[in-house]
Amino acid sequence: AAGVIQSPRHLIKEKRETATLKCYPIPRHDTVYWYQQGPGQDPQFLISFYEKMQSDKGSIPDRFSAQQFSDYHSELNMSSLELGDSALYFCASSPDRPDTQYFGPGTRLTVL
Amino acid sequence: EDKVVQSPLSLVVHEGDTVTLNCSYEVTNFRSLLWYKQEKKAPTFLFMLTSSGIEKKSGRLSSILDKKELFSILNITATQTGDSAIYLCAVESYNTDKLIFGTGTRLQVFP
């Protein structure tokens, strides 16, 4: 069965650069969630989208933005990268907002 | 292909019952297995297991890993309504540096 796809798998950037992470939900899933997991920490909820509209907002920095496109894939744009942005970024999708979230494999971002 | 399978998908019990959640995996270069509890938004960490046969315990929750048979169980004794959540199992791999999540077990505890 198709799973959540995230790209790239690994990304290395320097401080003050920008990065774009992509998430492709499971087909027919209309809700996408973004999480940030720092080393040894729980995943922190960043933002979610339902039917291409932002549905909830968590601890997403102002330097980050995200959107969900007409094909339901989502992109997380990160600007003015800081060392503290180094983390594993997970995307999850669900077929309906209160339903089970299916997690992608994550994108590991390293900021040097 | 690496995968993590959890069972059951859903479980409904009464307060005071004991439940056992299962997680089986197929991962190359296994590093660790993690259990999370997800109530509303982000999952919260419960246990990390790296060695077979060593039980991790926290209050009414306990977990154990069997690296030979490639599975882990999460036990919750004397369940309470506050235990209602989705319990996620995830496996870390050394070579790919990724965390693979199962689809979770939805536990509902009724008074």
Q: Which CATH number covers residue B60? A: 2.60.40.10
Test mutation, A6, A50, A101, A109, chain B, max B CBs within 10 A: A101
Domain of A47, CATH number, reads 2.60.40.10
Give the pLDDT confidence of A34-57 residue by residue, as tens digits. 999 988 888 889 999 999 999 889
Burial-class residue B71 by CB neighbours within 10 Å (0-12, 13-18, 19+): middle
Give the pLDDT confidence of B64-83 residue by residue, as tens digits. 999 999 999 999 999 999 99
**Where in the sequence is the domain holding A11, given as residue range(s)?**
5-111
A-chain residues within 8 Å CB-CB of B6? none
Number of domains chain A contains: 1
Cβ(B29)–Cβ(B95) below 8 Å: yes
Write the CA distances from A17 to A5, A90, B6, integer angstroms: 24, 20, 39
A-chain residues within 8 Å CB-CB of B96? 9
The DSSP-derived string for A85-103 is G-EEEEEEEESSTTS--EE
Model confidence at B96, pLDDT cuts 50, 70, 90, reads: low
- Which distant-in-sequence residues (6+ apart) come within 8 Å of A72 by Cβ? A25, A29, A30, A32, A52
Number of domains chain B contains: 1
